[in-house]
Amino acid sequence: MNMDKQALISAFQDMEDFAILKKIDCPPIYLLGGSACIVEGYLDRVTRDIDIIDLHYSANVGRLFRILGEVDYLDIYLTTLAEGYSQRAIRVREIKHIEVYALSVEDIIVTKIGRYSGKDKEDIKELLKKANKETINVLIEDVKKRENISHILKAYFLENVKKFRRDFCV
């Protein structure tokens, strides 16, 4: 099912209601990809899935995630994400009792450089209008320094950074 901003917010509110009803404590949730772009208004589009950073949630919390539909859990080891993302993330205001955050626009751009598909390039073009290029460069350097990342992914990232800089003059 394709979800726009209202559908995503509604799904998280249902999750929140269930958590309250069942007295389930949920650790913070960090959105990235299309779902983060949509809930924070970085991009005006729809998404089929919800991408979250895998913080090794308990089985009890997993019950909550089923309410959201298709969820992709992205492991930090396999994601081009700079350290300190949680401090840069933005709290989703519409969700009150569960801490749901969207990654900063700069963090999202850096994660998209990791794959750098045609769709990612289109998104980056739009996201750059709302981003701080200096911050993007700092985050790129931080990812380059990471040791807890797949070596293959890091190699792709380094190649894609060159393409990104060429394509967008960043």
User: Running DSSP on this structure, what letter comes out for residue 47?
Assistant: B
The answer to whether 140 and 113 are in contact (CB under 8 A) is yes
Residues composing the chain: 170
Kind of pairing between the strands at 50-53 and 71-74: parallel
C-alpha–C-alpha distance, residues 144 and 124, integer Å: 19
pLDDT at 12: 97
C-alpha–C-alpha distance, residues 121 and 159, integer Å: 14
pLDDT at 2: 86
Instruction: Give pTM, 2 decimals.
Output: 0.94
Question: To the nearest whole number, what is the mean pLDDT of the chain?
Answer: 96
Q: Put residue 56 in one of left, alpha, beta given phi > 0 → left and psi -120 to 50 → alpha.
A: left
Mean pLDDT for the stretch of residues 95-99? 95
Question: Token pair 């983060």 is at which residue?
Answer: 36
pLDDT at 1: 73
Residue 90 pLDDT greater than 90, yes or no: yes
pLDDT at 65: 95
Model confidence band, residue 17 (pLDDT cutoffs 50, 70, 90): very high
Residue range 59-75, pLDDT digits in tens: 999 999 999 999 999 99
> What is the dihedral sign for C-alpha 108, 113, 119, 125?
positive
Please, which residues have CB within 8 angstroms of residue 8's CB and are 6 or more apart in sequence?
35, 38, 39, 47, 50
